Each structure stands twice: as structure tokens, then as C-alpha cells.
Amino acid sequence: MLARTALTDAALVVLTIDHGPTAERAVSHIRNNFPNVPVISRARDLEACGRLIEAGATYAYPEAVESSLRLGGIALEMLNVPQENVDLLVQGVRSDNYQLIAEDDQDDSKSDR
């Protein structure tokens, strides 16, 4: 499909491919052939985000983390936590490309050894 698509004049590309290796190949193809076109992609998790970024994605968003943030935010709202606090918490997790979660995952994997 991408072989037939001319992206020369595209403002950006949004990828929602559900198969990791295919998404990585698509990002790599776009980056190699259209280096000035930004690529925004979804990924299953933080690990897949890392692979997409390495392949050339401008941004990659982990669906598992984002859905969990949304669910957690709604739960906090239902518990009458002020909206401003919920927004600050969610934005804090998103800041620096989910670094807080990535660090926690690394700590968990070290303790499993």
C-alpha cells in the first residue's frame, strides 16, 4: 500500500497498524523515502513505542498506557478528586514520554532477577 502512496506533499502520517513488525517496516519505509514527513504511530506498549521511535516515528503512543491513564482518570473523578489534580497527574505521567512508567518497569524487572 505504501509503495503506491506518494507522501511527498503530506503534512503528516498517522499509523494505526495493529501488527508491530508491519508498523515498524512502514515507519522505516516512510522515514527513508520521505524524511521530512512527521509520523505519529500507535503502539501496544512502551517497548513497542521504543521500536517505532528507533524505526523513525516522530511520536509513538502506547495504547495500553493511554487507556489505563484514561480509566484511572475517570476513577479519580468518580471519587471526587478535583479535575485539576487528575489532569496534573495524567500529564505528569505523559511528560517526558512516560519516563515515570518506564523507570518503574525497569525497577520491576530488576527485582524479578
Q: What is the pLDDT of residues 79-110, one digit of tens each?
A: 999 999 999 998 888 887 677 665 545 455 44
Q: Residue 41 — left, alpha, or beta (φ > 0 → left; ψ -120 to 50 → alpha)?
A: beta
C-alpha cell at 44: 501496544
User: What is the Cα–Cα distance from 32 to 17, expressed in whole angstroms?
Assistant: 18
Amino acid at 77: E
Q: Is the domain 2-111 a CATH 3.30.565.10 member?
A: no
Residue-wise DSSP of 41-107: EEESSHHHHHHHHHHT-SEEEEHHHHHHHHHHHHHHHHTT--HHHHHHHHHHHHHHHHHHHHHHHHH
Domain ranges of the chain: 2-111
Q: What is the pLDDT of residues 5-33, one digit of tens each?
A: 677 778 999 999 999 999 999 999 999 99
Is the pLDDT score of 112 beyond 70? no
User: What is the Cα–Cα distance from 45 to 58, expressed in whole angstroms?
Assistant: 16
The candidate with the shortest Cα–Cα distance to 45, out of 98, 106, 2, is: 98
Q: What is the pLDDT of residues 43-85, one digit of tens each?
A: 998 899 999 999 999 999 888 888 989 999 999 999 999 999 9
